[in-house]
Amino acid sequence: MSKIILAKSAGFCFGVSRSVKIAEQELKSGKCFSLGPLIHNESVVRNLENQGLLVINSPEEAVPGSRVIIRAHGVSESEIESIKNKGAKVIDATCPYVKKIHEIVEEASKLGKHVIIIGEKEHPEVNGIYGRCNSA
C-alpha cells in the first residue's frame, strides 16, 4: 500500500491565510463585499459567499455604507479611491508582501524611475502593481 506524506508547508501562504481570516472576521458583523474573488480558490470563496460575502467586479458596484474587502492580490490606488468615493468602507486584506511591492513601485515611480512589471497582464496582482505607477 502506498503512503501519502503531506508536506509541512502544504496549505495557504501567509498572505492568503491572513486575507481569509480578515474576511471571516468581517462577516461576523454581517454581509460585505470583496472586489473580485478574495483568493484563487473557488471552494474557499464559495464558503465565504455562503457566510455572506458578495463578490463585485468593479468599484462602481460598491454600495454606499457597505464594507468592501480588498482581495489578497491588492488593487490599484484609484480603485480604492473609487470605493471610498461611493461611500463604502475599505477593508484592506492585501497580502503584506504585495503591499511592500506597491510601496517599492510607488517610490520608484515618484523618483521618475522606469518600472518594469513582468507578469500576466490581466492578473489582479499585476493590475494592482501597475496601478501604483505614476504613468498608470
Query: CA 27 from chain center: how many Å?
Result: 16
Helices (H) and strands (E) in the chain, counts: 5, 4
Q: Which helix (H) or strand (E) holds 35?
A: strand 32-35
Q: Which helix (H) or strand (E) holds 124?
A: helix 124-130
Asked if 33 contacts 62 with a C-beta cutoff of 8 angstroms, the reply is yes
Q: Is 60 assigned a catalytic role?
A: no
Q: List the catalytic residue out of 61, 103, 107, 125.
A: 125
| CA within 13 Å, CB half, 37 | 11
Active-site residue list: 125
